[in-house]
Copies of this chain bind each other. A is one copy, B any other.
C-alpha cells in the first residue's frame, strides 16, 4: 500500500525525515516565553524552518496533555497550522492509544476527525477490536506499535511465543488480517536494526516509522540498509536532536541546519536505490 502524500513528499524532498514535536516548555529558548503561547510559537518556527526537509511532523501528545487546557489549545493550533500552511505534509498524532471498541472510536474521532491528523500511533495490546475503530476513516492511517526503541521493549515485545515467533512479529502478522489493514503502518524501533530487516520481509508493502535517530541513538545507515526499499516506504523520526539543536534565539536556523544534515544523508541512501 503506497501512500501518495508520503511518497510524493519523499521523492520531491529526497528525504524521509519526520520531525517529532516533543515540545518541553523547559527546553525551549527563554526568548519565546514572552509569547502568549510559547509552545505554539516554538512549533511554528520549527515547522517554518524545517519543512523544506521534513515530509512529516509528529506531535507527541503527552507533552501537550501535560499542560492541560493550554496544551490542548497549542496542539489544536499546531494541527490547524500544518493542515492550512502545509497540507502536503503528513501528520502523525503520537498518542499511543488503544481501548475497547467504543472507547477507541472516541479517541479516533478526537485525533483523526476533530484534530484532523493524518494518522495516529496505536498500542496493539488489546487486540483487533481496539485498533479497528482507528482504521475506519478514509485516507487516515494507524501506526501500530510493533517493536519500540526503548529498553522495555525486551520485556514483552521480544519474547518468543510457543509458535517460535516473537510477540512483535505476531502483532504484525495478525494485524494484516484486520479490517482495513491496508491503513496500518508500523512503529519499528532502531535498537536492533536487523529486526527491521526481518519486519520488512513480513510486511514488504507497509510503511515503517522508525523513531529515534539522534537522541535515541539509532544509526541511519543501518536503518536504511534494512528498511529502505525501492518504493521508499520508510519514515525516520528525529525529535530532540533537531528541535533542541540550540536554545538560543537562533534556534530555528540551527534546527534547520540539523534537519538539512539528516536530509542530505537520507538523499545519499535514496540515490543508492
Contact = CB atoms under 8 A, between A and B. Distances in A.
Contacts of A102: 22
Given A103-B60, A107-B62, A110-B62, A155 B167 contact: no
Contacts of A246: none
Contacts of A125: 123-125, 145, 148, 156-157
A229 interface: no
Contacts of A130: 150, 152
A101 B150 contact: yes
Copies of this chain, tallied across the complex: 2
Interface stretch (A82-90, A158-166, A200-208): A158-166
A128 B151 contact: yes
A194 interface: no
A271 to B, nearest CB: 32
Interface string A109-130: 1100011000000011111111
Nearest to A215: B102
A258 interface: no
A106 interface: yes
A265 interface: no
A123 B22 CA distance: 21
Interface in A21-46: 22
A127 B128 CA distance: 20
A171 B152 CA distance: 12
Interface of A: 22, 60, 62-63, 65-66, 68-69, 72-73, 76, 94, 96-104, 106-107, 109-110, 114-115, 123-131, 145, 148-157, 159-162, 164, 167, 170-171, 174
Given A66-B106, A131-B152, A162-B164, 14 more contacts: A60-B99, A62-B99, A66-B107, A69-B72, A72-B72, A100-B148, A125-B125, A126-B157, A128-B152, A128-B155, A160-B161, A161-B161, A162-B162, A167-B167
